[in-house]
Amino acid sequence: MSCIKASLPNSSLKHTFVKCDISSASSREEALSKLGEIDFNPDILVNNAGTSQDALLVRMSEQQIVDLMNTNLVGHMLFTKEIVKGMVKHRVHGSIVNIGSVVGSHGNAGQAAYSASKAGMIGFTKSLAREEPGFIQTDLTSSLPPETRAKWQEQVALNRFGEAQEVASAVAFLCSRGASYITGQTITVDGGLFM
């Protein structure tokens, strides 16, 4: 977060960082309480937390599936619900950006639960927009075996993996005035992996 904070422009714009384990009800409540204490009404929310427990569905325990869904989908929905309540109450015109994954649209062997959670985020994004008028190098993907990474890279039209900063640039655009007429869209930043 310190890198993100350092990259923000020095201006009169108010911004704050609050740590939150999105899968934990008590952590979400604590984060919302901290925002309330400083009388901060967010106008931008980026739902970016995620986890992966890749395995064939028949090998996953019920608890693994529940934990994955709580982090990748349910926690985001419940936190967003509270942020949207504040936006409506304070008449804040805001932006909510949900970060998903291409497997939410296309599926992948060994990722049934993960794919379902990301497909859920796509549906959540589209539904929320109606209610309220690539493969990127991350800690999760860096642990993949070299042969798997090479196989994926061959499928990317740009013949390289995306960087987190490239996703961040898309998020920054979606939160800007230049994107004021974009709503309910799934923005795929994948270098042409799925076209």
Contact criterion met (CB below 8 Å) for 135 and 152 = yes
Phi, psi of 19 (to 5 degrees): -75, 140
What is the structure's pLDDT at 153?
Answer: 80
Consecutive sets of 10 residues in the chain, 195 residues long: mean pLDDT of each?
Answer: 68 73 95 86 87 94 97 96 87 84 90 96 86 66 78 77 86 90 85 68
Residues tagged active-site = 114
- Nearest 5°: CA angle at 169, between 97 and 162? 100
Contact criterion met (CB below 8 Å) for 171 and 97 = yes
What is the structure's pLDDT at 24?
Answer: 95
pTM over 0.75: no
Report all structural domains of the chain as residue ranges with CATH numbers, in order of start.
Answer: 15-179 (3.40.50.720)
What is the structure's pLDDT at 136?
Answer: 67
How much helix, strand and coil, in percent to the nearest 5, is found in the chain? 50, 5, 45
Contact criterion met (CB below 8 Å) for 42 and 17 = no
Contact criterion met (CB below 8 Å) for 188 and 102 = yes
